[in-house]
Amino acid sequence: MIDVSWDIECDVLVVGSGAGALTSALTAHDGGANVLIVEKSDHYGGTSAMSGGGVWVPNNHYLQAAGGDDSYEDGKAYMKSVIGNSVEEMRIDAYLTKAPEMLRYLDDNSQVQFRAMPYPDYFPEKEGGKKGYRTLEPLPTHANALGADFDTLNPPHHQVVVMDRFCIDMFEGRAMLTQAKGSMIIMMKIIMRYFFDIKGRLKGKRDRRITMGGALVARLKASLNDRGLNVSLNTGLTELIKDGDQVIGAIVKQGETTQQIKVTKGVILGAGGFEQNQAMRDKYLPGPTNTLWSGGNSANTGDAIRAGQNIGAKTDLMDAAWWAPSIHVPGEPRARILFAERSLPGNVIVDKNGMRFTNEALPYLESGYSMYKAGCVPAYMIFDADFREKYPLGPLMPGRVQSDKQLPSKVNEILFKADTLGELAEKIVVDAKGLQATIDRNNEYARIGKDIEHGRGNSYYDQYYGDQKQAPNPCIAPIAKAPFYAMAIYPGDIGTKGGLSTNNNAQVLGCDGQVINGLYAIGNSSASVMGRAYPGAGSTLGPAMTFGYVAGRHVTGNV
C-alpha cells in the first residue's frame, strides 16, 4: 500500500461537467455513492453546453412515440455499415442496448426531457439508415430553473446566438437557415419573447431562455441540485493516484491549493478531449492543425487523457477528431463551424486551382476530412450576391438583415469581395481559369438539377438543409450575380475523437489490455465508440451520456 495524506474522501470522483460527466454523477449518486464533481474552468457544462445538444440514439422511446420505425437490428446494421470493424462489437452492442435505457432512466428520474427530431442520419441510404427521429433535442428551459447556477452555466457558442442576443432551438435554427415558410414569424416570436422577459432584461443581455446543449446541461444540473450535488469550479485534475492495478485517488488543484482526494469506488474521467492543446494537436493530429480552427471548449486541453497515460492507460484514435469545416474570425475565442450552410444552394468550395474537390453538402466530419485528403488547407467558399442576400454564413447574417456596410471590421478582414470572378481569384490567389470553369459547371448543374462530379444533393441528408424553394435541386443554384465573395475555410473540429481505451463498461484499459480498476473514461476523454465515423447528429453526446450512465452504474455495482 502506498502512503498518502488525504485531504478529502468520496466514493466517486467525476472529473468534468459536460452532459456525460453530469449523467455519470447523477447515476452514481442514485446508486448510493457519495459523489464529488470537479470542473477545471469557472463555468460548468463544457462543450456540451455550447453545442446543439442533440443525442443520437437508435430505437429510442421518443422515436417510437413520434411514430418512427426502428429496431436494435437496424441500429446495429447501420452502425456497422458506417463504422466498419474499427470498434469492438461488444462496445457497439453496449451502446445500442444501454443508450435507450439511459434515456428512459433520465426520463423517469430527472428533469431531462427530449423530443424526437425529423433529422436524418448522416447516411440514411446505407443499410439500417433512417430519415429521422434517431436524433433527439433537449426541450428548452429557463434560467429560473437554475437560480444562481445560471450565471456559471457555460454560455452557448456565439454562432448559435442570433444577433448576439437570441437563443434558438434546432427546429427554429433550421427554419431560419433554409428560409422555410413561416421563418420570419418564428424570428419575431423569439424577439418578442426575449424583450417581454422584463425580469430577465433587468438582469442582463444574456437570453434567459436556455436552448440546445445549454438546456441539456441545465436540466442535468437542476436534477443534481434536487439531490444536493454541487460542482466544484476552478478545480482541475493534475494527477491520478494508483496503487498496483487500482486507482485509489486523484490530485486536483483549486487556485494555488492542491488537494489529494481519496476515492473508495472510482474516478470517472469526462473532461473532454485535447482540441485546445496545440502541442497535442501537433503530436497526434494530421497537419496543418491549429487550435484557432476548433469550435471546442477552451478548457479542453487533454488533462484527463494525459493523466491516464501517465499511469499506463492505453489510447486509441488519437489522430482523429470530430472534423468540421470552420471559419476563424480574428478576435473571437473559438472558430465558427459550418454545420449546415454548405448545403445551401449558390456556393462552392474550391482549392488553389479553383476546382471543387468534394460534395459541399457532405456531413461535416467527411467535409472537414476531405480538405486533408485533398491537401487543401485552406479551401475557399465562393458565393455571389444572391447567396449573400438570402442566407447566413458563419459570421455573416443574410444581407437583407446585415448589409456589407454593417459588418464588423473583424469580419471584413476575412471576407473577400470583387465585381468579377477574375478579380476575386486574384485576391484569394487561386487559378482564375479554373475558378471560372468551376462556376460554369455549377451553373449548368443548377440548370439540370444534378451534380455530375460529386453528387451534391443526391442524399436525403444533403437536401435536409437545402432550400426547398430552389428547383430542381435544393442544394445547387447559379452563381452569377456580382459582387462575388470568398471566405477561407479550414479543417476545424468540435472536439477530438481519440482518448483512453475503454471496454463496454467504460473501464479504462492499460497498455497490456487489462482493466485499470477504479478508472473510467467517457465522452471525448475516451476513444469514441463511433470509431472514425459520425453516424448522425448527436453521435458525440449520445455516447458520452450513455457511457456516463454505464460508468455510474458499474462503479456502484448496479450492473
For 276-327, write each residue's pLDDT tens digit: 999 999 999 999 999 999 999 999 999 999 999 999 999 999 999 999 999 9
What domains can be seen in the chain, in order of their start residue?
Answer: 1-320+497-559 (3.50.50.60), 325-492 (3.90.700.10)
* DSSP per-residue codes, 481-547: SSSEEEEEEEEEEEEE--EE-B-TT-EEEBTTS-EEEEEEE-GGGB--TTTT---STTTTHHHHHHH
393: its cell numbers: 454564413
The Cα–Cα gap between 208 and 198 comes to 11
Q: What is the mean pLDDT of residues 74-95?
A: 96
- pLDDT tens per residue, range 426-453: 999 999 999 999 999 999 999 999 999 9
Report whether pLDDT(97) > 90.
yes
Check pLDDT > 90 for residue 248. Answer: yes
Q: How far is CA 466 from CA 422, 444, 471, 475, in A?
A: 28, 18, 10, 5
Could you tell me how far CA 192 lies from the centroid of its own chain? Answer: 29
> What's the average model confidence in pLDDT over 24-42?
98
pLDDT band at 1 (very low <50, low <70, confident <90, very high): low
pLDDT bucket at 365, cuts 50 / 70 / 90:
very high
Strands 55-56 and 415-418: unpaired
244 contacts: CB under 8 Å, gap ≥ 6: none
Q: Which residue has the cell 455510474?
A: 552
Q: Band the pLDDT of 345: cuts 50, 70, 90.
A: very high
pTM of the model: 0.95
pLDDT higher than 90, residue 546: yes
Question: Residues 377-434: pLDDT tens digits?
Answer: 999 999 999 999 999 999 999 999 899 999 999 999 999 999 999 999 999 999 999 9
Choose between 39 and 4: higher pLDDT. Answer: 39
